[in-house]
Each structure stands twice: as C-alpha cells, then as structure tokens.
Amino acid sequence: MAKKELFKENGEGEEVCKADFPPNFVFGVATAAYQIEGACNEGSRGASIWDSFSHTEGKIIDGSSGDVAVDHYHRYKEDVNLIHKFGFDAYRFSISWSRIFPDGVGTKVNEEGIAFYNNLINALIEKGIQPFITLYHWDLPLHLQETIGGWLDKQIVNYFAIYADTCFAHFGDRVKNWITINEPLQTAVNGYDTGIFAPGRREGSSEEPYLAAHHQILAHATAGSIYRSKYKDKQGGQIGLVLDCEWAEANSDKIEDKSAASRRLDFQLGWYLCPLYYGDYPAVMLERLGDRLPKFSEEEKKLLLNSLDFLGLNHYTSRFISHATSCSEESYFYKAQEMERIVEWEGGEKIGEKAASEWLYIVPWGLRKVLNYIARKYNNPPIYITENGMDDEEDNSLPLSEILDDKLRVHYFKGYLAAVAQAIKDGADVRGYFAWSLLDNFEWAQGYTKRFGLVYVDYKNSLTRHPKSSAYWFSRFLKGGEKKNGKEN
C-alpha cells in the first residue's frame, strides 16, 4: 500500500461514539504506583529501584523524583471521585511491591500497605468502578536488586510468586482483573541494556536483557498458575500480562523491508507471546541471538502455555521500518534486529503529527493494524488496551486556560478509539480501553517535563487537580453525547 493511503484508511478522521463499541466494553483510565503515589517514606513502605535511580544525579532530566509525585497516597479519594465524575467504569492502577513487602522477600506482610490498597479498592467499588490491578509496574523492591541482582536471578520468580499470592489472598474477593507485569520489554531493554530506566544497568553483558525478560515470563506464568489453582474458582477473576508494541509498517514493498518489519514485531510481541502461546521464543530470535537467549525446560514450557486469560496492550505510536545492517541505536537489543525505525520519508512528510515526547507520533491506523495482527497470529485472544494516550510539554509560560484546552489530545483519542472500534468490526476480540493517564505525573526519566494526564496537576500550587478538555470530552463520550455523522447519539 502506498504510504499516503495509510492516512486515509481505517476511518481516520471519522467520528466515534460509545455505541460503536460492544455493550459490555470497559472504558477506564490508568496510572502506576511510583508515578502518582508519593509518600515514599510513609506507611512502612520499603525503597524501590526507582527511588534509588531517581536520586542518582543525571538520571532524571529535571532532577526530580517520585518522592511526593502527585500525592495520590493521601488524595486517592479525590482522584476516585474524578474517575467517577467523568463516567469511567474501570481504573487500572499498580500496587507497589515494597508497600506489601518492604524488602521484597515476603517474610512479613506490611499491614499498612494492605490497608492503603484495601481503602483504595473499597473507594472504587463504592463508586461502581472496577479495579484492574497491575502487580508489577517497574518499581522492584531495592533490596532484591542489591542482594540478588533483581530480574537477573531466577530466585526473583519465587519472590514474585509469594507477593502475587499475598495480593490475591488480600484483595481478590473484590478484584476480578489482575495483570502480572507491565511492559516486561521496557524493564529488560531500558533497565538492563540501554540503562535509561531503573536499575540503570548499561555495562552488563549482551545476555542481560534476555535473562531479565526470561525471568519475567516465568514470573508471570508462575503467578498465573497460582491464581488459577488457588483463587480463580472461588474469586471468579481473570489474569493477564501487559505488553507494549509500536506497529511496524514496512517502509517499502521490498522483501528485506517487509522482513525487517516482521522481525520488529517478533522482537516486541513475539518475545513474550510466542513462549506463552507456542512454548518457546520466536524462530527469528532463536536464530539471531543463539545462546544469548536462555532456554525453557520442558516443565517450564508446560507452565507457560495458556497462562493468560487476556492480553493487555499498551500502544501509543507506530513507525515505518526499513532493513539496516547497522543500527543507529546504541543497544544490543536493537542491533540484533537489523532495522531502522523511520518517522518520515522522501519529501519530509511525517508518519503523523508529533506529540511532546520525541518518540510519540499520532498514528491511529497503527493501532488497528497491531490489533488485527495479534488476532491473526495468536488465535484472537481477549485484548484490553491497557494504555493509550499522548503528552504535552510542561510549559509554565502559558495561561492555565490554554493548557487545559488540550485539543490535540482530544483529536488523538478520537482517532485511536475509532481505530479500536474498527478492529472490533474486523473481528479482533477487544474488550476494554484505558486512557493514559488519569493525572499528569512523574514521567520516569523525563521527570515532570511531560504531561500525559486527562487532569492537569499544578505542581507549584498544592498539586491542585484541574480537568482538561479531554476529560470533559470523555465524559460526554461515555454518556453517549458525542456526535456521529452530524447527529447526536
């Protein structure tokens, strides 16, 4: 397909309304513990790798940390009320492992941490909001990093299993939707290869990212096995894994570019889904990485198969992919793929409009393509879009009224939701969508320089919350008040 035609296909520019989705489709917002909670030294919480990383000079672009973040720990009732006000029926959040087990080991449960999450869960349920809980969103207890090397040691699988079991036991009577691990690729590559995320390993061996990924896959499957054998029948919930994926569109009709795009998808999704659906890593990874990829035992392969009830997909953007024998990105992981990610082609036309982050371009058609790809390659699993959104630059020079009128974000959500609706019509089994993010927050290595929230947080004035136009757009959309083809629904 010619590139310009990609901008016209998949209904780009069409209006979308709630009636375009199945009756039981879940609409929610998402956050992560380290990004919003704060209270780093309260409630007997232990330190995490992100506490250590963010306090290391030069690691966070603005020198900030999540010590206070947006103080969700103390303001969770206010934030739950916002979710309810906008009409969302689900909230995806993560539990801080070191709030439950301060050292991560699992010898003594921290009752203050249990109480906090019980209070949050109860507040959600009182408002009719379904909790979707992520057990691990990158904030590994620091003690486990310092004593065993974090995800590089297989012992981590057992520690994660104890932690997961504890959460199922304490919260599973009310929580019916569990996610084991968020974006294991980011932990493996940015934590143990490029070093731009905690724990910041950059000088390790080329095997480290694959070892970290291997143990995360086993941790997911082990936690899934525990849930299914001990809790599922009684609690009636489901458990899944969240992966991130940019759509990879071949930059030309040349066979080498098509192969590079296919490779790119296998190195993103196949790295995790092939073991879970087919029992081993993708053939292209086995061929290219050889002994750098750890091996699953026959017993482990049995554990992996069918260990998820649903797949969570975090998707923000897409790229054109071309074959390249040398890669401009300094990473073992990217070099092994022999490809380049491209955002523009001859004439300077870009793949989409750029958001604030250098990696984020607005490409709605890519989401439809990746959903259909997953449906086709992995036997059409139930999918929740667990993150989707865009960021604005922090800009103190603008008046608040202008900042809150986030027209581009509204445009983004309209386009991507239309793409989801069309993927469902194509036959993809998509069951929910979570906007990222409820609140402006600590954006990892970017600190507070990027704002993804539906709600503006005034960092300089008591962390006051101000809903943006996108929040009000969602409120109208969820009440069925958006126009389609010029008519009110």
- Cα–Cα separations (whole angstroms), residue 190 to 194, 379, 391: 5, 30, 20
Least confidently predicted of 27-36, 310-319, 347-356: 347-356
3-state helix, strand, coil in the chain (%, to 5): 45, 20, 40
Number of H helices, E strands in the chain: 21, 19
DSSP of 205-225: -TTHHHHHHHHHHHHHHHHHH
pLDDT of residue 10: 46
Per-residue pLDDT at 5 exceeds 90: no
235 is in an annotated binding site: no
Candidates 183, 246, 340, 394; catalytic one:
183
Q: Which pLDDT does position 283 carry in this prediction?
A: 98
Averaged pLDDT of the chain: 95
Distance between CA 232 and CA 239 in Å, rounded?
9
Q: Give me the mean pLDDT over the 225-236 stretch.
A: 98
Residue-wise pLDDT tens digits, 362-408 = 999 999 999 999 999 999 999 999 999 999 999 999 999 999 999 99
pTM of this prediction exceeds 0.85:
yes
Give pLDDT, residue 122: 99
For the stretch 150-172, pLDDT in tens is 999 999 999 999 999 999 999 99
User: Is 443 annotated as belonging to a binding site?
Assistant: yes
First to last CA, the chain: 34
User: In this structure, what token pair is assigned to residue 132?
Assistant: 């979707």
Q: Is 444 assigned a ligand-binding role in the annotation?
A: yes
Q: What is the DSSP string of 177-201?
A: EEEEEE-HHHIIIIIHTS-SSTT--
Average the pLDDT over 189-194 and give the result. Answer: 96
Band (pLDDT 50/70/90 cuts) for residue 487 is very low
pLDDT value for 325 = 85
> pLDDT by residue (tens digit) across 318-373?
999 999 988 767 788 999 999 999 998 766 789 999 999 999 999 999 999 999 99
Query: Each residue of 290-305: pLDDT tens digit?
Result: 999 999 999 999 999 9
Average pLDDT over residues 214-220: 98
Average pLDDT over every residue of 64-77: 98
Question: 183 an active-site residue?
Answer: yes
- Residues 10-21 pLDDT 10s: 445 568 999 999
- Find the mean pLDDT for residues 430-456: 98
Share of the chain above pLDDT 90, in %: 91
Q: Which two tokens stand for residue 489?
A: 């629904």
Catalytic residue (one of 37, 246, 387, 482): 387
Residue 461 reports pLDDT greater than 80: yes
The Cα–Cα gap between 290 and 172 comes to 41
Q: Is the peptide bond before 259 cis (omega within 30 degrees of 0)?
A: no
Element (H, E) at 392: strand 392-393
Over 80: is that where the pLDDT of 85 sits? yes
pLDDT tens by residue, 116-150: 999 999 999 999 999 999 999 999 999 999 999 99
Instruction: State which amino acid sits at residue 46.
Output: G
Is 35 marked as binding a ligand? yes
Q: Distance of alpha carbon 218 from its chain centroid, rounded?
A: 19
Token duo for residue 416: 């991507």
With a cut of 60, say whether residue 216 has pLDDT above it: yes
Reading the block at residue 470, the tokens are 């996108």
- Answer yes or no: is 137 a known binding residue: yes
State in words which class domain 3-480 has: alpha beta
The yes-or-no answer on residue 37 being catalytic is: no
Q: Residue 91 belongs to what H/E stretch?
A: strand 90-94
